[in-house]
Structure 1
Amino acid sequence: MADQRTLGELLKANLVSDEDLNAAVSGYLADPTLGPRQIADGITLDITAAVLANRWATDVLADEEMSEAARRNAVRTAILLARVA
């Protein structure tokens, strides 16, 4: 699986746009169900799995006192660090 790139690498390569990423974050926060979601053309990711794999993101989302901005940043970070096929 050494050929798997992170979503952050795909963002740097302009294969994913900031708009795609923002839409993925918003979509997840509105409906955090399991399953693959299309991030951009030909790029899918199970955002829930990515969040659950990132301890910081799960801690932020579990803390009811965290701001909306902190929640968005936590999900964004988990997505950017996730490896996609």
Structure 2
Amino acid sequence: MAKRPTTAELYQAKLIPEEDVVAAVEAFMANPNTSAFLMGHGYALDLHAAVAASPFALGVLATPDAKPASKRIAVRTAILLARPV
């Protein structure tokens, strides 16, 4: 069985626009429990699960003195590495 593409692969193929990736990051930052987030044409991603699966993102988010920009970059990375359905 072939693996589903990552958000980054869908983004590179122009199936998920930049605006949706930015909106996903902002949605997570506003509510870390956000689950189903719609992206592109018919893709959905559990933002909470995507970030929870990233040790890097969890580490940055848990660092008290991490800058907001660093947190957003870590969340964006986790989202780009995740595999939407």
TM range (shorter): over 0.9
Deviation at 1:56, TM superposition (A): 0.3
Which residue is equivalent to 1:44? Answer: 44
| Matches of 1:54 and 1:10, distance apart in 2 | 19
Which segments of structure 1 move beyond 2 Å, counting only runs of 4 or more?
Answer: none
User: So what's the TM-score if we normalise by structure 2?
Assistant: 0.92
Distance in 2 between residues matched to 1:37 and 1:84, nearest whole Å? 9
Aligned residues: 85
Mind listing any 5+ residue stretches in structure 1 that lack a counterpart? Answer: none
Q: Read off the aligned partner of 1:72 and give its amino acid letter.
A: R
Contact preservation (8 Å) 2:36, 2:44:
yes
Q: Which residue does 1:32 correspond to in 2?
A: 32
SS in 2 for 1:83: coil
Displacement of 1:35 in angstroms is 1.9
Cα RMSD of the aligned pairs, angstroms, is 1.2
- Identify the residue that residue 78 of structure 2 maps to in structure 1: 78
Identity of aligned residues (%): 44
Q: TM-score, normalising length from structure 1?
A: 0.92
